[in-house]
Amino acid sequence: MTTPVTTIKYIGPAQAKALAEAGIHDAETLRAVGAHEAYGRMLASGHAPHFIGYYALVMALQGRPWNDCKGQEKDDLRVAFDALKDARHDKGRSELEAALDMIGVIDPKIRRKA
């Protein structure tokens, strides 16, 4: 039996939809892969990277609200997010494509898969 990801406190419908598009359809899978890998899969499925979305997912899996992330913890998560984004989001893209995507010119539906 599987449990919807929205049964995890602080995960709402929009994040559940993004997780489903990344192939994560239940709370058990999300807990098994963890926030970092789940967010990497979201990037690979074409979602634009957003730091708040990343650490909100991390906090949700810890049972904490997104705004509980502060100080050194937030700084450490920023380093992890940047490494994930750089490794997954821009892989195989030219500098021009990455710059165009950064300013919102590239349609997320046609982004290259990492």
3-state SS, residue 32: helix
CA dihedral 112, 21, 107, 96 (to 10 degrees): -30
Look up the pTM and report it: 0.76
Closest by Cα among 50, 43, 64 to 112: 43
Total number of domains in the chain: 1
pLDDT in tens, 14-37: 999 999 999 999 999 999 999 999
* CATH code of the domain covering residue 66: 1.10.150.20
Which domain range does residue 33 map to? 5-110
Closest by Cα among 32, 25, 76 to 54: 76
Tokens of 10: 């602080």
pLDDT in tens, 45-79: 889 999 999 999 999 999 999 999 999 999 999 99
